[in-house]
Amino acid sequence: MAEKRMLSKVISISEKVNTLPDLFDMLLFTWMIPHSDDFGRLTGSPAKVKALIVPMLSKSIADIDSSLARLHDNGLINWYEAEEEKVIQIESFDKHQQGLHKRTKSKFPDFPGNSGNVQEIPSELNRTEQNGTEEKGIEQEQIFGSSHESMNPFRLFENEGFGTISSMTSELLGDLIDTYSERWVCEAMKISVKKGKRNLGFVEGILKNWKTDGIDEPWGREKDDEESERRNQGTRYGKDQRESEFAFLDNQNRTGR
């Protein structure tokens, strides 16, 4: 069993994790990962989990039992009993770990009815590419997607590096939302991120310009302008390239050769 495990940063925006009712549930779940075997399994006995995972916390065995039940209900673990032994199976474990192609057999029994069905593990290169694509997709969705999180100005402020939300910042964001709406504020913040201007002064400036223009969805025009600029840049590059290719003709005409 490996001494270290991978913990993907996408865990911080996992709905299953963030909807857990207790912070201890989140801690217990993440701390169980490095203690699991190459199949994502570990003992499911609450007493053993306490002794192995959180020996120095003042949590009772009953607390551990309740927390494991909540993790199971949220689909983060499969807490089952097989061969008179309680077992924890961390869901989607294979998806986020490396080096699993070397594993052989777990010392913990399979989930009943799933004996012998070991998932084939892709090569490390393919797994790295796959995980990288997945994380990039989630990050892009967080900034530009249509999820409810991308329309929360306060969440966007923290996730996209604008800073820490103080009482003054919260009040300013609230004023902007009251004046322009959550959608407008979020769209302006996204444009600020793309331009590398992570401050509310820049965001407010975008909002004021949009309001002056009187367009219902001005962020759509921003996207059109960006696309037009990219096309223009491509055209200018092509023109410059053609001019450089035939520059020798101008030199010949000037020298008469």
Tell me: do 202 and 226 sit in the same domain.
no
Q: Is residue 110 part of a domain?
A: no
Q: Is residue 130 part of a domain?
A: no
What ranges make up the beta strands (E) of the chain? 41-43, 77-82, 85-90
Tell me: do 226 and 205 sit in the same domain.
no
Tell me: do 67 and 16 sit in the same domain.
yes
Nearest CA to 34 among 4, 78, 64?
4
- Of 27-41, 185-199, 217-231, the range with the lowest mean pLDDT is 217-231
Q: Where does the pLDDT of residue 45 fall: very low under 50, low under 70, confident under 90, or very high at 90 and above?
A: very high
User: Using an 8 Å Cβ cutoff, are 32 and 5 in contact?
Assistant: no
**Position 142 pLDDT exceeds 70:** no
* 41: containing domain: 9-100
Instruction: For tokens 């061969």, name the residue.
Output: 83
Last residue of a domain, one of 84, 100, 116: 100
Q: Is residue 227 part of a domain?
A: yes
d(CA 214, CA 216) in angstroms, rounded, equals: 7
Residue 16 belongs to domain with CATH number: 1.10.10.10
**Position 236 pLDDT exceeds 70:** no
User: Using an 8 Å Cβ cutoff, are 229 and 206 in contact?
Assistant: no
Average pLDDT, the chain: 76
- Of 16-25, 77-86, 162-171, 246-255, the range with the lowest mean pLDDT is 246-255
The pLDDT of residue 145 is: 46
More confident residue, 135 or 67: 67
Q: Where does the pLDDT of residue 128 fall: very low under 50, low under 70, confident under 90, or very high at 90 and above?
A: very low
The pLDDT of residue 131 is: 52
Greatest Cα pair distance in the chain: 97
Tell me: do 190 and 230 sit in the same domain.
no
Q: Is residue 113 part of a domain?
A: no
Residue 200 belongs to domain with CATH number: 1.10.10
Q: Is residue 150 part of a domain?
A: yes
Q: How far is CA 147 from CA 4, 20, 76, 78, 139, in A?
A: 33, 19, 21, 27, 12
pTM to 2 decimal places? 0.46
The pLDDT of residue 65 is: 96
User: How many domains is the chain partitioned into structurally?
Assistant: 3
Tell me: do 90 and 30 sit in the same domain.
yes
Q: Is residue 128 part of a domain?
A: no
Q: Which amino acid is residue 191, in one-letter code? A: I
Last residue of a domain, one of 34, 67, 100: 100
Tell me: do 15 and 56 sit in the same domain.
yes
Tell me: do 36 and 93 sit in the same domain.
yes
d(CA 174, CA 78) in angstroms, rounded, equals: 41
Q: Is residue 19 part of a domain?
A: yes
Nearest CA to 92 among 134, 55, 53?
134
